Amino acid sequence: MTPEVIEAHGVRLRQVAPTDVADLTAGCGDPVNLRFNPGMPQPYTEADARWWITEGSPAAWAAGGAAYTIADPTTDRLIGGAGIGQVVAARRQAEMGYWVAPWARRRGVATAALRALADSALRNGIHRLELMTHAENPASQRVALAAGFRHEGVRRQAGQLRGGGRADLLAWVRLADDPPGPAPRLLPDLPDGGLTDGVVTLRRLGPDDAEVMYRLHSRPEVVANQAPPVPPARAGVEERCLLAESAWLTGTIARLLILDAVTGEPAGSCGLSISDAAAGEGSIGYALLPHQRGRGLATRAVRLLAGWAFGPAGLARLAAGTVPANTASHGVLERVGFRREGLLRGRLPGLADARLDDLVFGLLPDELR
């Protein structure tokens, strides 16, 4: 690429300059940038910044990539960096990366810079751009979506961890012929961050919910209605909560906590997964803590979730599978409008190589009560 100055979407992309040393040192030394960019030296010193200016950045350009400083177009002060590497000329593909200084975050800088650089690369012969993010970095995943990159899958152990070890990376891709604007999402954000009917409230699951989720899903009666009926490991529940936003953004599953709308006390959890995106079908599940049962909260939560699924999420059909003996769950589904559709014999894994039947319920938009 040619190291031209790019001004677009409210940011300036230019080459790094000797006057950027102080801001480059402070920005690259930020803990968030160091966490998700393990190739950056730690601690990041002024000597590292000078090396980047005199050797690192020129080498990136010489290899056919790009190494831009993101600058405030008004003051020209450094507020981040963005670049292109891993160029495969024969395939017309490359990989993008970026970082934003802590004093410039939450202003749309990353999205603007990524869009500006991607637009330039795609105009100049690149057909496929990739962006890799850690699953624990939903902020970067939101930037990818806003800049028009679509989730394509998981690169297993493609990333290195600081200090050793490897991590999976999520692959986001933008093609030259993709439509402009943000990438479409299978699971949009909840309106105003939640759903409520005044009695129950649903909000996205987060890392701080691990304790209540472990307490809920370790209950014997909850475990008995799972397939297979095996108690969860604490570490697995913690990881599920930690990666809940990432799973939502990639369109895998929307996991929500059910709260008492008056007290704010946790009552249970529910979720909506995309079982068949092409057919517009989703699948729901739910569970309540023992002391919250018998108040109709599960019915209200499922009704709220179904309304959101048929509305903003744009699904055409919902399914729910239950073990045949779980009559309480059957009642919840039927009060919302679900109909029994059939028994799938031996569909689910049980214990010791046993198989469990799956009683399937279905709901269409005009059946929601």
Task: Give the CATH fold of the 6-175 domain.
Answer: Aminopeptidase (3.40.630)
**How far out from the chain centre does Cα 273 lie?**
14
pLDDT tens for the chain, residues 1 to 369: 777 899 999 999 999 999 999 999 999 999 999 999 998 999 999 999 999 999 999 999 999 999 999 999 999 999 999 999 999 999 999 999 999 999 999 999 999 999 999 999 999 999 999 999 999 999 999 999 999 999 999 999 999 998 889 999 999 999 999 999 999 999 999 999 999 999 999 999 999 999 999 999 999 988 888 888 899 999 999 999 999 999 999 999 999 999 999 999 999 999 999 999 999 999 999 999 999 999 999 999 999 999 999 999 999 999 999 999 999 999 999 999 999 999 999 998 999 889 999 999 999 999 998
Whether 82 contacts 98, CB under 8 Å: yes
Q: What's this model's pTM, rounded to 2 decimal places?
A: 0.93
Tokens of 254: 């929307």
The ranges assigned to domains in the chain are 6-175, 191-367
> Is 191-367 the same fold as 6-175?
yes
CATH of the domain spanning 191-367: 3.40.630.30
Q: Give the model's pLDDT for residue 79.
A: 98
Question: What are the Cα distances from residue 49, in Å, to 43, 86, 92, 114?
Answer: 11, 22, 31, 22
Q: Give the model's pLDDT for residue 369.
A: 87
Question: What are the Cα distances from residue 8, in Å, to 16, 79, 104, 314?
Answer: 18, 15, 17, 33
